[in-house]
Amino acid sequence: MFISSGDAVPSFKGFTLILPAVSVGNVGQLAVDLLISTLNMPRVGYFHTDCLIPMAGNNPYASSTEDAAQLSTSAEVYSHRDLKLAVLQIRAPIIQTKVKSFRKLMISWMKSSGFLRTVLLSSAHAYQRDDQQLHGTPLRYMLSPSLEKEERQRFEELGWREMEKISVFPGISDSEQRLYIPGGGVTKCLYTDCCTEDVPMAVVLIFCSEGDNIPDAFALINCLNDWLHLLEKPTQGSVQWRVPPSWKLLFGSGIPPLLF
């Protein structure tokens, strides 16, 4: 559950919660890294749960030697008071047998904290797209019923595309349609839970392949910024997102010089 890192328990009433799904390419997690690093958000608490694989490291957003040795764990909550923004960064995969517990934990925390809305950043396998999904932008959105009334008009103005439903049996006419997000991890389950529990949630996802997913993260966070306006967009060019120092050596260590 959520444990505050300071003495005072922070209030999230009326805040927007942004969290990633652990999905293909880790795109949601990379996008959240960009958000926390650029806004310089302080950590306000931990998400201490047995549903995530434990990991620990030094500060992934270190800007100087003073804060480089701040310990970081599997799941932490950062917040920005002025923007009324809370961000939950999940850094480890969910243990397979505890996915149901994790969903219950997330739903109960979202409800008890009184978030205005929740944004889930996710991704899906590009190679499993349906034919109709191949055209145009790789970005998609999904809205839970309670958020649909408020935001659908806005999303249509932005020119966003809603996630298409796929036939359960392709080729058969009048077949049942279902939501299909391969490689999305907990995305579909969490979205379905939010729909049934009347939690306002928006899912923003991108189709991608595993590899160098940094461009996908930039595309996803730019898309989110078009909606939420977390950072001012300059008239020429795009927002200058700050890449955290933990992104270095993404493709391994140095090459042994004896190789040549």
Partner 1 sequence: MATFFGEVLSVYSRAVEEDEYEDMTNENEEDEQIRREIEEKRSVEVCWLLGSQDGPLQCSDLIIGAGPNASGFIRAYLLSTVGWTAVAWLSFWNERSRGSERPTVVPGPGEPSCVLYRLESCPTVLICQCQGFVAEDQLFQFTEKVFSCVQTRDLNVTILSDCSSADYKTSDYLSGSSTPFLRCLKTSTYTHTVTCPPLEQPNICSGLAAAVLSHCQVHQISAVLYQCYSDVLHPDSASMQMFAATLSSVLKLEQSLSADVLQRVTRVSEIQSNLYT
> Which of 9, 40, 42, 53 forms a contact with partner 1 (CB under 8 A)?
53
* Strand arrangement, sheet containing 2-4: 2-4, 43-47, 75-80, 85-90, 16-20, 117-125, 201-208, 139-143
Closest to partner 1 by CB, 117 or 188: 188
Choose, by CB under 8 A, the member of 182, 195, 222, 239 that binds partner 1: 182
- Using CA of residue 89, residue 140, residue 105, residue 52, what is the dihedral sign? negative
Helix (H, G, I), strand (E, B), or coil: what is residue 177?
strand
Q: In the complex with partner 1, which residue's Cβ is closer, 132 or 253?
A: 253
Residues 183-202 that bind partner 1 (CB under 8 A): 183-186, 188-189
Give the integer Cα–Cα distance in Å for 186 and 251: 26
Binding residue (CB under 8 A) for partner 1 from 17, 18, 19, 22: 22
Q: Which of 8, 13, 96, 260 binds partner 1 (CB under 8 A)?
A: 96
Alpha helices (H) in 159-200, listed in sequence order: 187-197
Q: Which two tokens stand for residue 107?
A: 């739903």
**Other C-beta atoms lying within 10 Å of the C-beta of residue 198:** 10
Q: Would you count residue 116 as binding partner 1 (CB under 8 A)?
A: no
What letter does residue 78 receive in the DSSP assignment? E
Residue whose C-alpha is closest to residue 144's, from 168, 160, 120: 120
> With binding defined as CB under 8 A, does residue 69 bind partner 1?
yes
Q: Residue 113 CB, nearest distance to partner 1 (Å)?
A: 18
Residues 6+ apart with CB under 8 A from 159: none
243 binds partner 1 (CB under 8 A): no
Residue 165 interacting with partner 1 (CB under 8 A): no
Integer-rounded Cα radius of gyration of the chain: 19
User: Per rule CB under 8 A, is residue 148 in the interface with partner 1?
Assistant: no
Measured from the CB atom, the residue of 166 and 230 that comes closer to partner 1 is 166
Q: Residues interacting with partner 1, by CB under 8 A?
A: 3, 22-26, 46, 48-50, 53-60, 62, 68-71, 73-74, 93, 95-100, 125, 127, 182-186, 188-189, 209-210, 245-250, 252-257
